[in-house]
Chain A
Amino acid sequence: MTELKIDRRQLILMGLSSSVLAAIPLGCVKLGNDEADELLQFVSNSRSPVDAKRTGSLRQEDFEKLGGLCQYVNRAWELDADMGLYFNRLRADLDFKTSEEPSYLTEYKHAVELISMMVGTTSSVEQAWASLLFSDFDVENFAATKLGRARRLVFSELITHQIPVSGAFKSFGLWNYSGYFGGSFTAPESYRKGAV
């Protein structure tokens, strides 16, 4: 058995909202050897996406599993973004990332496999995401593993997209954010909305 080094105490330290915490049971996540092997399977040392020439469209069910990360972050960090609106844009943008080279299709497929496995293994979606994002592994060359690559090429990129594009930064009281389409100063949809 492999024990993931993230538990409720760590989640409290992360400052997760009380509703999210309530959904997470006490104790660490215990993985079977097969699951641990899957997470830590060597994939590639390349910094670029694997199978970058394999283009195609992401299946809707796979898109929804990836989108689960954005919903988790939106809840856990209380971002208050309109996720319905955001998902339309995210879907279109992920299609750009899979339909043109370098294609992320295989990297997304690997990430979806890990998400499915962890959601099936842990007792809550919150715990699954916390484990996927923050658990520690004492292995060599973690960055080249299936989970290491998913963190860098998929989860990190999705959150980096979500903060500006969904407008989530506004919940922090910020006016604008790199990547947000605010509109011209001379147009009504300007990010400042003529307030200043």
Chain B
Amino acid sequence: MESIIIVGSGVAGVTLARQLLKTENDYQITVFEAGPDFKPGDYRIWLDQVMADVDLYREFVDDPRTENEHFGLRGSRLFVKGGTTNHWGGLTPRFKPEDFELKSRTGFGADWPLNYDDMAPYYAEAEILLGITGDSENDDPPRHGAKYPFPPTAFTLGDVLIIEALKTHDISYGHMSIARDGNRCITTGTCNYCPVNARYTALYDLARLQDEYEDKLTLKTEAPVTKILMDGKKRTRGVSFLNLKTDTPDSMGADVVIVCGGTIESAKLLLSSANKDWADGIGNDSGHVGRHLIGHPVMGASGVRPGNPDKLDGELGFTSLISRHFDSPEYQHKGKMWFSGSVGSNSSLERQILSNVSRADMDASLISEMRISLGGEMEQFESPENRVGLGSGTTRHGLPTTEIEVVVHEINIKTRQEHVQTFVEILKTAGCREDSIESHAGDPDGAHASSTCRMSSSDVDGVVDPDLQVHGTDNLYVCSNAVFPSIAAANPTLTVSALAVRLAEHIGEQSPLVPLSGSH
């Protein structure tokens, strides 16, 4: 039997656990989660969300002490079983081939030590594991014949209206690929907590694994890992953690430790595990741990179009249209971008009834106008000055607080204004009144934070090798957005899932693992 510790119960940790457990190897896996347990697909929880508009995740957001001015973490990630996939949008675009060559093609950031073709088979497997709906005929990026498990979601009537405007501007568009089981979904629009577990969450995935592998998988919730324990410089022997239920420190041994704590906590754990052999933190002899922090600047615009004879409103709780027109090699040197759009009305029916609005006025309001919104995310170029560090004091989880320094590259600031202006032109073409159009272009936040333990061929340039093993160690890995050398113009979850599938395969090939001394 080989013992493996996975730190973090988000999509990376759960994908790894599943892939390892379904091999023929005799693994004993323990998943540590700093946050509490939570139930997937619970009807009462769903009912409270619908009837009382309960903020289900308010207890699981960042400690206020981790908040910072330039890179907001509160609300962008969750400390709970299943991690941030509990409240994610489910958007799962692949990176494109040129995204793995950012440095070579633009001079910014770093190249990946992998290329698109290396990743393609793992993308295909991850798309099946996450239950993705998508357009298998769209070959940008190349699919090499791989099929999504579910056909794409049909364009909504609002999408069709936006598409007409895109055509006028010769802007390409397609179906959003989204982690939503096309057979199970009941289009209830309450995707923030799906009552039937159609939208992928690591929460539900992990619950199923616990049932299926009761004897081989252990989940420890409210158990933040505080330190990686080492035997000499190369080998980890386990972790220290806090049992928040009993308020006591504890430790556990393992043959392998895989850190899947997300970009912020993974880097912090390596830093806080400093010892006599790793004076500045494990894997940090070249100073890259915590460096290069990037996220996705979010930008958008919306406007009011007079008249809505077909009473178009938000049809679904997720996005079904995407344009990757500006996510192309031509835009890579200044900041690629994807965007989507939606059409909706300004006030809910129940709110109008409760505000004593008459039926006649409600009917008139519905056909009088519509709001069209466009929003997208842009690639950010990294800088070594952008960093995550350990703050003073501890959070409610007993973990060190977070210090973040982020400066957005001036090219990115200029480009995002160009992208916003494109949105404004599209909205005008779609019929929005010019004086109604409002736009915004924000700095990145923690939602897609990446690159603090970046992957590199050499320990001089990064923290983990192409197999995600921490440089200079034998049995310590990081699997998280943290290992991305660049972030592309694509949501990161599919890519980190593909990396988790790839890592599980690599670990499987290494078995039998070198046993922990004295543990067998």
Binding site for B on A (CB under 8 A): 13-17, 73, 76-78, 93, 96-97, 100, 133-134, 153, 155-165, 168-169, 172-187, 190-192, 196
Contact status B354-A185, CB under 8 Å: no
| Chain A CB within 8 A of B510 CB | no
- Count of chain B residues with a beta carbon within 8 Å of a chain A beta carbon: 41
Contact of B189 with A179 in the complex, beta carbons under 8 Å? yes
When C-beta atoms are compared, the residue in chain B nearest to A160 turns out to be B350
A29 vs B52: C-alpha distance when bound (angstroms): 30
Task: Report yes or no: B50 in contact with A184, Cβ–Cβ below 8 A.
Answer: no
Please give 6 more A-B residue pairs, beta carbons under 8 A apart, in addition to A13-B358, A196-B154: A15-B361, A133-B356, A159-B353, A172-B349, A184-B185, A192-B154
Whether, in the assembled complex, B63 has its beta carbon less than 8 Å from a beta carbon of chain A, the answer is no
Assess whether B182 is in contact with A185, with CB atoms less than 8 Å apart. yes
Find A163's partner among B189, B190, B350, B360 (CB 8 Å cutoff): B350
Instruction: Give 6 A-B contacts (CB < 8 Å), ordered by A residue.
Output: A163-B349, A164-B50, A176-B315, A178-B317, A179-B50, A186-B182
Chain B interface, DSSP helix/strand/loop, else mixed:
loop
Residues of B within 8 A of A173 (CB): 310-311, 366
- Chain B residues near A160: list those with CB within 8 A: 50-53, 350
Q: A159-B354, A185-B182 given as contacts; is B362 within 8 A of A172 (CB)?
A: yes
In the complex, are the beta carbons of A179 and B154 less than 8 A apart? no
Contacts of A162 in B (CB 8 A): 350
Instruction: Give the docked Cα–Cα distance between A184 and B311 (Å).
Output: 22
A166 to chain B, nearest CB (A): 12
10 closest A-B pairs by beta carbon, nearest first, are A15-B358, A178-B189, A182-B187, A157-B51, A173-B311, A179-B50, A160-B350, A181-B186, A176-B315, A77-B359
Query: Which residue from A15, A96, A180 sits with its C-beta under 8 Å from B47?
Result: A96
Question: A153's closest neighbor in chain B, by CB?
Answer: B52
Set of chain B residues within 8 Å of A161, measured between Cβ atoms: 50-51
Q: Report chain A residues within 8 Å CB of B189.
A: 176-180
Nearest B residue to A77, CB-CB: B359
- Given A14-B356, A100-B44, A159-B353, A190 and B187 touching (CB < 8 A)? yes
Contact call B315/A172, Cβ cutoff below 8 A: no
Beyond A173-B366, A175-B315, whether A184 also contacts B187 by CB under 8 A is yes
Specify which of A77, A100, A160 lies most central, judged by the most chain B CB atoms within 10 Å of its CB.
Answer: A160
* B513 located at the interface, meaning its Cβ lies under 8 Å from any Cβ of chain A in the complex: no
Tell whether, in the assembled complex, residue A159 and residue B188 are in contact, meaning their CB atoms are under 8 Å apart.
no
Looking at the assembled complex, report how far the CB atom of B191 sits from the nearest CB atom of chain A, in whole angstroms: 9
- Bound-state CA distance A159–B52 (Å) is 11
Q: How far is the CA of A164 from the CA of B187 in the complex (A)?
A: 12
CA–CA, A76 and B353, complex, Å: 10
Using Cβ atoms and an 8 Å threshold, which residues of chain B touch A15? 357-361
- Please name all residues of chain B whose beta carbon is closer than 8 Å to the beta carbon of A13 when the two chains form the complex: 358
Instruction: Tell me if A184 and B315 are in contact (CB < 8 A).
Output: no
Q: Mark B46-83, 1 if CB is under 8 A from A, else 0.
A: 01001111000000000000000000000000000000
Contact indicator A178/B186 (Cβ below 8 Å): no
Residue contact A96 to B353, C-beta cutoff 8 Å: no
How long is the Cα–Cα vector from A192 to B154 in the complex, in angstroms? 10
Interface string of B312-335 (1 = CB under 8 A from A): 011111000000000000000000
A187 and chain B: residue at smallest CB distance: B183
Asked if B153 is at the interface of the complex by the 8 Å CB criterion, the answer is yes
Assess the B353–A77 pair: CB atoms within 8 A: yes
Q: Contact check: which of B157, B186, B316, B358 meets A184 at CB < 8 Å?
A: B186
* Contact of B184 with A184 in the complex, beta carbons under 8 Å: yes
A78 touches B359 (CB 8 A): yes
B38 at interface (Cβ–Cβ under 8 A)? Answer: no
Docked Cα-Cα span, A155 to B52, in Å, equals 11
Cα A133 to Cα B16 with chains together (Å): 53
User: How far is it, in angstroms, between the C-alpha of A153 and the C-alpha of B356 when the chains are bound?
Assistant: 18
* Smallest Cβ-Cβ distance to A73: which chain B residue: B353
Complexed CA–CA distance, A180 and B356 (Å): 23
Nearest CB to that of A130 among chain B residues?
Answer: B356
Q: In the complex the two chains form, what is the Cα distance from A158 to B52 in whole Å? A: 9
Indicate if B363 sits at the interface (CB-CB under 8 A): yes
Task: State A15–B187 Cα separation when bound (angstroms).
Answer: 32
Chain B residues, CB < 8 A from A178: 50, 188-190, 314, 317
CB distance B50 to A174 under 8 Å? Answer: no
Query: Would you call B183 and A184 a contact (CB within 8 A)?
Result: yes
Contacts of B361 in A (CB 8 A): 15
Task: Quote the shortest CB–CB distance from B132 to chain A (angstroms).
Answer: 14
A153 contact set on B, CB distance < 8 A: 52
A23–B461 Cα distance when bound, in Å, is: 80
For residue A159, which residue of chain B has the nearest CB? B350
In the complex, what residues of B have CB within 8 A of residue A172's CB? Answer: 311, 349, 362-363, 366
Chain A residues near B363 (CB, 8 Å)? 172
Find out whether the CB atom of B366 lies under 8 angstroms from the CB atom of A191: no
Contacts of A192 in B (CB 8 A): 154
Tell whether B213 is near chain A: CB-to-CB under 8 Å. Answer: no
Among candidates B44, B157, B182, B185, residue contacting A175 with C-beta atoms closer than 8 Å: B157
Q: B186 is contacted by which of A159, A163, A175, A182 (Cβ under 8 Å)? A: A182
Q: Which residue of A lies closest to B51 (CB)?
A: A157
Q: Once bound together, how far apart are the Cα atoms of A87 and B52, in whole Å? A: 19
For residues 334 through 377 of chain B, which have their beta carbon under 8 Å from a beta carbon of chain A? 348-350, 353-354, 356-363, 366
A80 to B232, CA, bound (A): 74
Minimal beta-carbon separation of A165 from chain B (angstroms): 8
Q: Which residue of B lies closest to A183 (CB)?
A: B186
- How far is A148 from B203 in the complex, measured between Cα atoms in Å? 37
Question: In the complex, which residue of chain A has the Cβ closest to the Cβ of B310?
Answer: A173
Chain A nearest Cβ from B311, distance in angstroms: 4
* Closest Cβ–Cβ distance, residue A90 to chain B (whole Å): 11
A182: min CB distance to chain B, Å: 4
Interchain CB contact under 8 A, B185 and A185 = yes
How near does chain A come to B90, taking the closest CB pair, in angstroms?
A: 15
Contact status A174-B183, CB under 8 Å:
no
CB distance from A72 to the nearest CB of B (A): 11
What CA separation (Å) do A17 and B310 show in the bound complex?
24
Cβ proximity bits B259-277 to A, threshold 8 Å, 1 near / 0 not: 0000000000000000000
Q: Which residues of B contact A174 (CB under 8 A)?
A: 311, 313, 366
- Determine if B188 and A181 form an interchain contact, defined as CB atoms under 8 angstroms apart: yes
